[in-house]
Amino acid sequence: MNTRLTLRLDEKLIASAKRHSAASGRSVSQLVADFISLLEAQSTSTDVEVTPRVRALRGVLAGSELDEGEYRRHLENKHL
């Protein structure tokens, strides 16, 4: 059963939601529903403990121009 819900949002946010709606072919209501479902799925997922070593690596590639293609080329050259 669908029920109405009124949201009070900034005009710019509403305009952005409408643009995303038009671009994706889904209604604003569906976008909001999908977002809330995503939040629910994330909150019920099991949390994975991040080790100190992984925490130390967080952000080391920020601003890097590397992409997946470059990584693939690296692996190909490595295993030739």
User: Is 67 inside a domain boundary?
Assistant: no
Range of the domain at 12: 8-45
Asked whether 5 and 19 are in contact (CB, 8 A), the reply is no
SS3 for 68?
helix
User: Is 26 inside a domain boundary?
Assistant: yes
pLDDT at 70: 86
* Cα four-point dihedral sign 66, 69, 71, 77: negative
pTM of the model: 0.52
What's the one-letter identity of residue 58? R
Report the length, in residues, of the chain: 80
pLDDT at 65: 80
User: Is 22 inside a domain boundary?
Assistant: yes
pLDDT at 41: 78
Q: What is the pLDDT along the chain (80 residues), one digit of tens a residue?
A: 889 999 999 999 999 999 999 999 999 999 999 999 988 877 766 667 788 888 888 888 787 787 888 888 888 998 88
User: Is 23 inside a domain boundary?
Assistant: yes
User: Is 59 inside a domain boundary?
Assistant: no
